[in-house]
């Protein structure tokens, strides 16, 4: 048993019970190899202690450092990163959509930096759920090529793409959204903004059930908005000429 900064810990795994709430403290203690904390870890499990002190301290990426330490303490722990704790990977994806269209950099970094795949491997999802693992790997690659597209696609994958909230209104699906937003009167305005809206693009891609690859769907969405805009401008020009 050890009392570390006012909290009692009886087992090594107890460190993870408030890991997400005390992450700043744990980073400070672990990165400086605090004597009391190190002695507690060493007493509980010498082998894990040796692995922990071998992890390079990344002062510019404290959350990533703590993520790796948590994996050593308990490879089957919850998904813990920064001040987030998820019991399941599905909870992670739903949180992305809950925050959308805003982007949470910590949730994004989990995917972008390969940490989500590390977690899935620890849970043996690469073996037990190979299709899911492959899909998340694909989203990670996309995220590193097209910022925020892979992030939202990952969110839709776990959350689904029905009953999505956008600008304080809930749309039952993507078609409902399009029919409500894209009208002849505002297509010129929204086409430009939607081409830059990674959330909308990802929503459309996730709603498409054809056999196109995600990259092809991405281009399809951009072309779709371009075509709608060109058609509208052409019709507008004709009307003006007639008038």
The pLDDT value recorded for residue 48 is 97
The pLDDT value recorded for residue 239 is 53
Tokens of 98: 């809950």
Q: Which among 70, 242, 69, 94 is positioned nearest to 165, based on CA atoms? A: 94
**How distant, in Å, are the alpha carbons of 127, 166, 185 from that of 20?**
28, 29, 48
The pLDDT value recorded for residue 211 is 54
Residues of the chain with pLDDT under 50: none
pTM here is 0.84
The answer to whether 175 and 181 have CB atoms below 8 angstroms apart is: no
The pLDDT value recorded for residue 204 is 83
- Give φ, ψ of 166 to 5 degrees: -145, 125
What distance in Å separates the CA atoms of residue 116 and residue 114, rounded to the nearest whole number?
6
């Amino acid at each position: 048993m050890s009392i570390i900064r006012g909290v009692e810990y009886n087992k090594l795994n107890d460190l993870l019970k408030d890991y997400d709430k005390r992450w700043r403290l744990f980073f400070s203690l672990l990165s400086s190899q605090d004597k009391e904390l190190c002695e507690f870890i060493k007493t509980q499990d010498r082998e894990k202690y040796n692995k922990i002190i071998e992890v390079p301290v990344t002062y510019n990426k404290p959350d990533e450092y703590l993520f790796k330490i948590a994996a050593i303490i308990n490879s089957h722990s919850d998904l813990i990163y920064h001040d987030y704790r998820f019991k399941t990977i599905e909870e992670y994806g739903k949180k992305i959509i809950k925050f959308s269209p805003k982007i949470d950099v910590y949730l994004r970094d989990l995917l972008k930096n390969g940490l989500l795949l590390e977690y899935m491997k620890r849970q043996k999802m690469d073996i037990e759920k190979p299709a899911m693992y492959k899909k998340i790997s694909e989203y990670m690659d996309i995220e590193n090529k097209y910022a925020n597209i892979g992030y939202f696609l990952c969110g839709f994958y776990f959350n689904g793409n029905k009953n999505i909230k956008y600008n304080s209104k809930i749309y039952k699906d993507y078609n409902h959204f399009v029919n409500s937003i894209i009208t002849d009167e505002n297509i010129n305005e929204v086409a430009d903004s939607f081409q830059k809206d990674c959330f909308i693009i990802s929503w459309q891609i996730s709603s498409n059930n054809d056999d196109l690859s995600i990259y092809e769907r991405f281009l399809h969405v951009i072309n779709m908005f371009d075509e709608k805009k060109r058609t509208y401008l052409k019709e507008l020009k004709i009307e003006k000429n007639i008038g």
